[in-house]
Structure 1
Amino acid sequence: MKTLLTSALIGIMIALPAKADILTYSFTAKIDTLIEQSGTINPISVSSGVVSGETISLGNSVKGSFTYDTTTRLSSWQPEQPSGAVYVIYSDLRAANAVNFSFDQNNLRFNSNGSWSLPKIWLTNSNYDSLAYWDSAYQDSKITHLRLHFVGNGDIFPGNALPATIPLDKLLFSSFTYEVSDYSGATPWSLYAHGKFSSIELTSTTPVPEPGMYLMLLAGLAGMGLVARCRQMHR
């Protein structure tokens, strides 16, 4: 009887369809722009900057990964809608969105586990559809902002719903932005680093069963338990 129940349980789990996925992408990027600002002085382009004792220079390379949860729900806050475009923001405490990266030439790194805000997915429908992935972190009086930006020509993200995947073959360009603002001293200071992706690829897909499927699973287990009990009573 135990073997029969176990086999039936496995059969039910295999049969559960998955409507949505959690996608993991890996990427590399190269820094091509550095802008530094101190206090109210106008920002200036620089060839290198220092963050937490680590130097970031033009040409530095970045590698990392991010997860994109297609079940992420709409954010409670939505931006004003401009003429000729539609902006939609997705952000969800229960979603499995996360990003991490590190520089190859120094010890700087970013991980969503240290974030003080939820990752946000900003979807834009216009002449050039785009998807932007935002995250922020706060540590040692420094605020770090990260943005991954994917832009396509035409309607590559139809409608306002999150796409089932990021259509890498239809992108016009994609970019990486890392900004650090330091408020530990008497004068605020910030460094803005921007780069283009050198590579990006889908590395894994994790199915997410629909909530209704869990109810079906529980109902199936309850039914099997009832049948087993009835058999014991008739012995």
Structure 2
Amino acid sequence: MNQESKKQKGQENLLLLGANTLYQKMMQYLSPIYFPKSLEIDDIDTLVSNEFFRVRNILCRIYKFDENKHIPENDGTSPFDTIRKDVEQEVYKRIYNDPDFLTTINIRKKYIMMIREAVKSNNNTIGTFYKNQGKHYRDGEIPVEYETSPIVVIQNSDYFGYGGYEANTLYELFISDIGELFCVLYGEAGESFNEPVEHIQTEGLIEITHWLAEQSFISSDKFIKIKN
């Protein structure tokens, strides 16, 4: 059987499942519980929609079903259309509120905002390994090094490491031309790469913020003094 025939056979197999069986297949890939990062209605709706598409894509891969090809050939319809509402309703039923998790999300936002304000006030660039300010360390002579630099853990699902986690030395913080906050990291192999600050784990965001305060990039007034 050639590749095209296998693909066609896979599409036929998916169509032969029927709505009820297709629904049950999708149920197998849903998480038993979901914790939203926000209780805003739009954010929850987005979570539900994304989960439907995630599971749909899994089944399309398993059955080698080309939905983009199928839809225009079948009056703009997909076999997933008839069950989408039911699947999404099931996802809604599995959503739970974890108040401590939401508090952690807000804490992360607070630290990211403090880091951004510090970087912005230094012409959008702060070196954290070399003492460069307002320009990238790659753009000129290698300046003096700091005695210590933050070491952070990031999580990026595109990486091959276990779970996408990696530990790296932070070399620089900068705001891009389109306003995104990035960090320049060096890994164990000695390669440098840019990573959105949002990918840094919470402990790393705290470490960066405290380091910036120690180096006077963030005012001590942002924190509470224990004793006068």
TM-score if structure 2 supplies the norm length? 0.24
Structure number with higher strand proportion: 1
Q: Which has the higher contact order (CA 8 A, sep 6+)?
A: 1
Structure number with higher helix proportion: 2
TM-score if structure 1 supplies the norm length? 0.23
